Amino acid sequence: MKHLISYFTFLLMLVQVQALDVVKDQATVKISIDGKPRLEYRFTDVPFKPYASQLYTPGGIAFLRDSPFDHKHHHSLMFALAAEGVDFWSETPKCGKQKHLQLDSNNDGFTHQIEWTTPDDKPVLREERSVKLHQRQDLQATLLTWRSKLQTPAGKDEVKLTGSHYFGLGARFVTSMDKIGTFINSSGQTGDVVRGTERLVSAKWCAYSAPAGDKPVTIAMFDHPANLRHPSRMFTMIQPFAYLSATLNLWKEPYILKAGQPLALCYGVAAWDGKIEAAQVEEMYQKWLKFNPVVCR
């Protein structure tokens, strides 16, 4: 009887897992679930940095905005900091570049080797970035894990990481989501005012609900308990446009990355159709933690 129960449990798990398809070409990786697009990632033919150019809710709603006219350097879902005084976020002639070295796709995502270089092409930082899409049907949300392992380049003993108050893993949203959405977070606090509507709040997760076109969506960022300075300082703003990023508070607390001591960061991003309440976001956060019990350093 015990073996029979285990067999039926196994069959139930098979039913819950959806068909995931990862397609890589010379410039992009596209991931779909049951034939519906969920993620697009650009790794070549980008001027300054690779990034996730689009995410979709389970209902197929795209909610990220790439390189808008007011901030051309905002690329949908992107990760950038400053290293050794070189800005890898803003994309000016004085900024550094995240150079593609190698990308290997697998059955649920990819691993990307990236070299961060100065404007005159000198290595400053090495990154191993991996993105994994979780495809269980019972999630009822698009859920991904973003890992970035940062290391000093060969021959460099240490690298100083700094940046503005919004540097980190950041998301820019489509125009219809500007000005009118609602942020919630795990702490229940509004956070510290930086300027205008900009806030910084220490929270293990932060979520934003707003209409993408004429349909409401909710997007959340998760910070892993093993991350440096957990809980993350979540950056939020709603005017003149909506933005969300998980930061390391490097603008006030620079971090010295030592050779042979990589900095491993693990973040989650979840997207739902509709407006989701705090209890549901917390439930998803706990599920995500079970998918990511360990962060290797």
CATH of the domain at 93: 2.70.98
Domain that holds residue 169: 2-291
* Predicted pLDDT of residue 108: 95
pLDDT exceeds cutoff 50 at 1: yes
Residues whose CB falls within 8 Å of the CB of residue 265, separated by 6 or more in sequence, listed in order: 147, 148, 149, 150, 224, 227, 228, 248, 295
- Which residue from 245, 249, 285, 196 is spatially nearest to 64, judged by alpha carbons? 245
* Predicted pLDDT of residue 130: 98
Q: 164 by DSSP, 3-state: which?
A: coil
The answer to whether the peptide bond before residue 240 is cis (omega within 30 degrees of 0) is yes
Note whether residue 169 is domain-resident: yes
State both tokens at 14. 């098979």
Q: Are 22 and 105 contacting, i.e. CB atoms less than 8 angstroms apart?
A: yes
- Model confidence band, residue 11 (pLDDT cutoffs 50, 70, 90): very low
Note whether residue 70 is domain-resident: yes
Q: 10 by DSSP, 3-state: which?
A: helix
User: What mean pLDDT is predicted for residues 232-255?
Assistant: 98
* Predicted pLDDT of residue 281: 98
* Predicted pLDDT of residue 9: 52
Dist. CA 25–CA 3, nearest whole Å: 44
- Model confidence band, residue 5 (pLDDT cutoffs 50, 70, 90): low
State both tokens at 54. 């689009």
Dist. CA 205–CA 202, nearest whole Å: 9
Note whether residue 103 is domain-resident: yes
Average pLDDT, the chain: 94
Note whether residue 297 is domain-resident: no
Note whether residue 80 is domain-resident: yes
Task: Give me the number of domains the chain comprises.
Answer: 1
User: What mean pLDDT is predicted for residues 65-88?
Assistant: 97
| Strands ordered across the beta sheet of 205-212 | 97-105, 109-117, 123-134, 142-151, 263-273, 215-223, 205-212, 182-185
- Residue-wise pLDDT for 107-134, tens only, equals 999 999 999 999 999 999 999 999 999 9
Note whether residue 229 is domain-resident: yes
- Model confidence band, residue 10 (pLDDT cutoffs 50, 70, 90): very low
Note whether residue 296 is domain-resident: no
